[in-house]
A and B are shown apart, each in its own frame.
Chain A
Amino acid sequence: MVKTIAEINEKIKKGVAVVVNAEEIIDLVEQKGIEKVAREVDVVTTATFGPMCSSGAYFNFGHSKPKIKAGGGQATLNHVPAYAGWAAVDLYIGATALPADDPRNQVHPGEFAYGGSHVIEDLVAGRDVRLQVEAYGTDCYPRKHLDTWINIRDLNEAVLFNTRNAYQNYNVAVNLSNKTIYTYLGVLKPSLGNANYCSAGQLSPLLNDPYYKTIGIGTRIWLGGGIGYVVWQGTQHNPHAPRLENGVPKRPAGTLAIIGDLKQMHPRWIKGVSFVGYGTTLNVGIGVPIPLLNEEICKSAAVRDRDIFAAVVDYSEVYPQGKTEVLGEVNYAQLKSGEIEVNGKKVKTAGISSYKNALTIANDLKEKIKKGEFLVTEKVADLPVGDTAPKFGPLKERPVKEEK
């Protein structure tokens, strides 16, 4: 049984496509078998909603009179520094950027009340944001200072452009030391006090398409409540991670670089958050449709939490020191039960990625496809996978020796 994207889109346009989310497909396959479901179902919707630090937005704020060239100068948004190293009035703001006067971790653990991610949320929410620019002035761009309120509705372009999102699986973080630690996976209590994980498991996009058969460059996605696209593999994309027989990686593996119109998005799905002692990051909502082109793709999309395993990693020593040993592997059914066993001890678990919100996104995407508002796409190029894919490795540090 083989379907084409064009055939599926014809059904979507007619409003007769059969669309289910990545949770519903599991029961369907258990009841009817792969062959029947692959024939009957056209699209499976996957989703994730969690903190994704390699996120940011660029925009063009329009030329002032007289003109100013932010490029080569300095710019802040609500006092958070933005990257100005390109043409006159384009800026990029990253999720983890912090105001110069933020106390950071001077008193540990720091609060990190407001950063780049909050600026992006403020823009998305339609709130005014203060833009300050210091430039050096040129004959063609004479102005040296700018201090103005801006609003997303007046920006020429406002684009979310995230260089690494939607990680295909992630570590389960624990703390083996005897003091509390503060990480991007939340607060970890001493001596295996808790275990925090961060994936939507059976709903997560790349876990439902482990070898990127349908998800690739050019794939149209649900992004922050609007429309976005996969533009490239994300940074640190590592298809070489060890995999189970079902193809699902057991370690952090593939990633996506994505883009989308910030003006279409909603602050519920593009949300600035702060991890105490760590910093700011952006919660991003992403939904990815998987067209069921054949039985193999259907089988992968029916993956269950209990078939997806993640590594338990110590974040007090092993992770920060760049070591690789793991304390064991657990599956997402165990993680979602609220308790796992590590080193013979029962440890309480919590998710940092929101399964509930991922489900809401998967259902919203499902409805949009059913109503004919969202067509599925043929990928333009593959994400790297297999032996020819570039290797992901640590820094080859070559310390610079000061000349005497």
Chain B
Amino acid sequence: MSSRKIVLNFPKEKIDKPIVYKLIKDCNLTFNILRANITPDQEGHMVLELVGENSEIEKGMKYLKEEGISTQPLSKDIKVNWDKCTQCGVCVAICPTDALYIKDRKTMEVAFDSDKCIACELCIRPCPPRAIELTF
């Protein structure tokens, strides 16, 4: 078993299709919905963690592509602009998954582990120098 976090970009004409249902039924995948923003008549975005055999995840990805739903790995979503970062710990206190964390307790350096990030966006507004960006 393995897992993969992906961002799904739904064009507006696909909003009403039972995409997720098919991923479960035809590809035998289980998943966590990490975030979803789907509004009728608008483009939608959803962040999923897919869990299943590698071959089944590939099958699911192929299915999404055929349906015209573009995907990207989740790690591209939250970006820390290290030139702007002041190395305080406001985000570290807020991050629910410890994706933003103190790398070294001697120097107290703040770091970002994109594998742990669920793109919940809780860190974005509290960041004092506004160094954290969300990119779709």
Could you tell me which A residues sit within 8 Å of B by CB distance? 49-51, 109, 111, 113, 186-187, 189, 194, 196, 271-276, 281, 283, 336-338, 348-357, 359
Q: How far is the CA of A348 from the CA of B109 in the complex (A)?
A: 16
The reply to whether A356 and B107 contact each other, CB–CB distance below 8 Å, is yes
A and B contact pairs by CB, cutoff 8 A, 25 listed? A49-B86, A186-B90, A186-B94, A186-B128, A187-B90, A187-B93, A189-B93, A194-B93, A271-B86, A273-B129, A274-B128, A274-B129, A276-B125, A283-B129, A336-B108, A337-B105, A349-B89, A349-B93, A352-B90, A355-B87, A355-B107, A355-B108, A356-B87, A356-B107, A356-B110
Given contacts A187-B90, A338-B102, A354-B108, 14 further A-B contacts (CB under 8 A): A50-B88, A51-B88, A186-B88, A186-B90, A186-B94, A196-B90, A271-B129, A336-B108, A338-B105, A349-B93, A351-B88, A355-B107, A356-B108, A356-B110
Q: A187-B126, A274-B130, A275-B128 are in contact. Are A283 and B86 (CB under 8 A)?
A: yes
Q: How far is the CA of A113 from the CA of B127 in the complex (A)?
A: 11
Q: How far is the CA of A148 from the CA of B27 in the complex (A)?
A: 64
1/0 per position for B69-109, CB-CB distance to A under 8 A?
Answer: 00000000000000000111110111000000010010111
Q: How far is the CA of A50 from the CA of B110 in the complex (A)?
A: 15
Which residue in chain A gives the minimum CB-CB distance to B100? Answer: A350
The reply to whether A350 and B129 contact each other, CB–CB distance below 8 Å, is no
- Of B86, B93, B107, B125, which contacts A350 at CB under 8 A? B93
The reply to whether B89 and A350 contact each other, CB–CB distance below 8 Å, is yes
The reply to whether B126 and A352 contact each other, CB–CB distance below 8 Å, is no
Minimum distance in angstroms from B87 CB to a CB of chain A: 4
Which residue in chain B gives the minimum CB-CB distance to A273? Answer: B128
Number of A-B contacts (CB under 8 A): 76
Which residue in chain B gives the minimum CB-CB distance to A185? Answer: B90
Q: A271-B129, A283-B128 are in contact. Are A353 and B88 (CB under 8 A)?
A: yes
Minimum distance in angstroms from A27 CB to a CB of chain B: 12
Chain B neighbourhood of A273, CB < 8 A: 86, 128-129
Choose among B89, B110, B126 the residue with the greatest number of A CB atoms under 10 Å from its CB: B89
Q: How far is the CA of A351 from the CA of B128 in the complex (A)?
A: 13
Q: How far is the CA of A187 from the CA of B95 in the complex (A)?
A: 11
Q: How far is the CA of A118 from the CA of B109 in the complex (A)?
A: 24
Chain A neighbourhood of B105, CB < 8 A: 336-338
Minimum distance in angstroms from B103 CB to a CB of chain A: 10
Q: List the 5 closest A-B pairs by CB distance, nearest first.
A: A350-B89, A273-B128, A350-B93, A355-B108, A354-B87
Minimum distance in angstroms from A16 CB to a CB of chain B: 29
Minimum distance in angstroms from A285 CB to a CB of chain B: 10
Minimum distance in angstroms from A115 CB to a CB of chain B: 12
Q: How far is the CA of A197 from the CA of B105 in the complex (A)?
A: 15
Minimum distance in angstroms from B97 CB to a CB of chain A: 12
Minimum distance in angstroms from A271 CB to a CB of chain B: 6
Chain B neighbourhood of A356, CB < 8 A: 87, 107-110
Chain A neighbourhood of B126, CB < 8 A: 186-187, 275-276
Q: How far is the CA of A307 from the CA of B36 in the complex (A)?
A: 48
Which residue in chain A gives the minimum CB-CB distance to B102? Answer: A338
Chain B neighbourhood of A281, CB < 8 A: 128
The reply to whether A186 and B87 contact each other, CB–CB distance below 8 Å, is no
Chain A neighbourhood of B102, CB < 8 A: 338
Minimum distance in angstroms from A119 CB to a CB of chain B: 15
Choose among B86, B105, B107, B126 the residue with the greatest number of A CB atoms under 10 Å from its CB: B86
Q: How far is the CA of A187 from the CA of B105 in the complex (A)?
A: 22
Q: How far is the CA of A113 from the CA of B130 in the complex (A)?
A: 9
Minimum distance in angstroms from A199 CB to a CB of chain B: 12
Q: How far is the CA of A279 from the CA of B58 in the complex (A)?
A: 48
